[in-house]
Amino acid sequence: MLTPPSLAPLIPQQHRLPNGNILYYFPNDNLDLVKLDFTVEAGSAYQQLKSQAHAANQLFGEATTLHDAPTIAEFLDFRGIVVERMTDTCQGNISYYFLRKYADELFPLLREMFDHPEVTPQLFEAYVAQRRQKIAMGFQQTNYVARNRFYELLYGFDHPLGCYATVSDLDLLTLDSVYQFLRRHYSLAHAHIVLAGHVDEDLLTLADRYFSPEAPTGEHPIRLQLPAPAPVVSAEVSPAVLMPSAVQSSLRIGRVLPMAWHDPHYAQFMVLSTVLGGYFGSRLMSNIREDKGYTYGIYSQTQVFRDSIVFFITAEVAAHATQPAVHEVMCEIDRLQQQPIPEEELERVRNVMMGDFIRSVDGTFELSERYRQMHFTDVTEQLTTHYFDAVQHVTPAQLQTLAQHLLTDLTTVTAGPAAVQ
């Protein structure tokens, strides 16, 4: 089996800005590129209107009171600067990829974006039109519908993790509501800043100059702890969501796990999930793809949120095979509960998981992204320690016990044409 890597490279270096804030960085002098992340507490859990957080994230930096949108777009395009935007339940993140030589020009503009944001009617109207089209298209896709329904059942529509936007929600969204959200949450003084790549002393000096405001530009939002989901007392099979125009069906099967990320049993459960459907040779893939031909791919995994963890199985299957596929999933789960995993299979999974981990940190940008994700789900390297221990030492008997206790009370959602009934 592969040897676990040292944890030292996963810990970022720290640079204290003049205002006392900490900038985190992963230096690599062999790269000409730099990745810069600004992450703020600005996810959907903070919004008062559906899509408000998403709109603020998408429109941040598009224009300022000093430079209009075409000017900023031309500035970025001419220098090949790539911008990536993301919102989830708690955070909003904006990443900039750029050549080190352009930092002198880019950093002043980034400071301007925070200090002098602008949302013009034209930008807002264009966003709403695009968002309306994307949501409408999403509701025509079985995987989108199944995912939304799955999380709604797990958490409830009133929970930040269980709700989702509809086209009609956009009728309530206003330019002023987006601008006020942006002003409140996209504050440079409260942003978590991570640099990766060609980070030298000159770049840190630039960061001192432009990323260290003496006072916040908005009120600091309280860091949310998400409400706990309602406890599931029995399995729930949701009525199939009928989508007559669909050509295939989507299924989601899973639950909220009754444990936190720092519980050593969670790392062991990750091994169990990998055996079930976490790699190409997994039991679900071997049965439902290779033997039955119901799907091109079926997977199981866990998703860590700030205050809970969800386990789920997901697949796109032929419409006529939806219920047979669900049946085979349950058969594989039953087999894990009734029979210990053979040592040879478990050893293969150990190697797969260790190799996956090494690939996930094989690069400066990958390290910085992993650190950012862990920081904003309140996860520490304690999970990595548990992960290595579980991969190396968990036994078939322990995995069988986990299957008996945790692969139960599963919620099942299917979405597709009438043949799923």
Dump pLDDT digits (tens) for 105-153: 999 999 999 999 999 999 999 999 999 999 999 999 999 999 999 999 9
pLDDT at residue 228 in the model: 64
Which of 175, 210, 245 is the C-terminal boundary of a domain?
210
Least confident of 119-133, 238-252, 267-281, 300-314: 238-252
The CATH number for 36's domain is 3.30.830.10
pLDDT at residue 12 in the model: 92
The number of beta carbons lying within 10 Å of the beta carbon of residue 49 is 16
**Residue 34 lies in domain:** 8-210
Instruction: Specify whether 255 is located in the same domain as 123.
Output: no
237, pLDDT greater than 90? no
Instruction: Specify whether 310 is located in the same domain as 408.
Output: yes
Instruction: Specify whether 168 is located in the same domain as 300.
Output: no
Look at residues 379, 362, 237 and name the one whose alpha carbon lies nearest to residue 305. Answer: 379
Instruction: Specify whether 152 is located in the same domain as 268.
Output: no
pLDDT at residue 241 in the model: 84
In a domain, 231, yes or no: no
Instruction: Specify whether 328 is located in the same domain as 189.
Output: no
In a domain, 220, yes or no: no
In a domain, 226, yes or no: no
In a domain, 1, yes or no: no
Residue 274: pLDDT band with limits 50, 70, 90: very high
pLDDT at residue 242 in the model: 82
In a domain, 109, yes or no: yes
Distance CA(384)–CA(34), nearest Å, equals 26
Torsion angles phi and psi, residue 165, rounded to 5: -85, 150
The number of beta carbons lying within 10 Å of the beta carbon of residue 195 is 25
pLDDT at residue 336 in the model: 98
Instruction: Specify whether 199 is located in the same domain as 159.
Output: yes
In terms of Cβ atoms closer than 10 Å to its own Cβ (0-12, 13-18, 19+), residue 183 is: middle
Residue 216: pLDDT band with limits 50, 70, 90: low
In terms of Cβ atoms closer than 10 Å to its own Cβ (0-12, 13-18, 19+), residue 243 is: buried
Distance CA(383)–CA(287), nearest Å, equals 31
**Each residue's pLDDT tens digit, 341-394:** 999 999 999 999 999 998 888 889 999 999 988 888 888 888 999 999 999 999
Residue 313: pLDDT band with limits 50, 70, 90: very high
Instruction: Specify whether 250 is located in the same domain as 164.
Output: no
In a domain, 264, yes or no: yes
Instruction: Specify whether 204 is located in the same domain as 240.
Output: no
In a domain, 365, yes or no: yes
Instruction: Specify whether 184 is located in the same domain as 276.
Output: no
Distance CA(143)–CA(26), nearest Å, equals 36
In a domain, 225, yes or no: no
Across all residues in the chain, what is the average pLDDT? 92
Instruction: Specify whether 70 is located in the same domain as 186.
Output: yes
Distance CA(403)–CA(397), nearest Å, equals 10
State which amino acid sits at residue 33.
L
**Each residue's pLDDT tens digit, 57-116:** 999 999 999 999 999 999 999 999 999 999 999 999 999 999 999 999 999 999 999 999
b/e for 139-163, b at 16 or more Cβ within 10 A? eeebbbbbbbbbbbbbbeeebbbbb
Instruction: Specify whether 323 is located in the same domain as 380.
Output: yes
Domain total of the chain: 2
Instruction: Specify whether 91 is located in the same domain as 192.
Output: yes
Q: What is the DSSP string of 205-265?
A: HHHHHHS--SS-SSPPPP---PPPPPPP-S-EEPPPEE-TT-SEEEEEEEEE-SS-TTSHH
